[in-house]
Amino acid sequence: MHFFVAEKYGEIYRQEIKDALGGTGFDLIIIDEAHYFRNRNDSQRAAAARTFFGEGKDRLARNALLLTATPNHSAARNIYDILSYFTDITLKYDMDDVRSLMENFAIRRLRKMCGKR
């Protein structure tokens, strides 16, 4: 029951935003702390997010920039799940092929500690 309510509100909010934008949605959506989307099927938040961001041609945004320092928490599938909210990844990639996912979707920057040598 809770998942249904969360999904319904996600759908309502997505449609209100798209209507306010003339039915087109956003060109780009930026998601900080994207690792919070790593568990696609286990919470009300995930259910609401799935319907809010939409699927296929009914996505809220044509492009997404996902920011996270920790994309992979406990399983290779975490990266796949994060991406699946924003692209039709299920049609193109194996969820356990982390290397391919990272090569095609990630820009990795390492923090270097500055100080005395």
CA distance linking residue 25 with residue 16, whole number of Å: 10
What stretch of H or E contains 102?
helix 98-105
This prediction's pTM: 0.74
Q: Encode pLDDT of 81-117 as tens digits.
A: 888 888 887 667 777 777 888 888 888 776 666 665 5
Closest by CA to 5, choosing from 56, 40, 43, is: 43
Contact status, residue 69 vs residue 28, Cβ threshold 8 Å: no
Distance of CA 60 to the CA centre of its chain: 11
CA distance linking residue 109 with residue 24, whole number of Å: 33
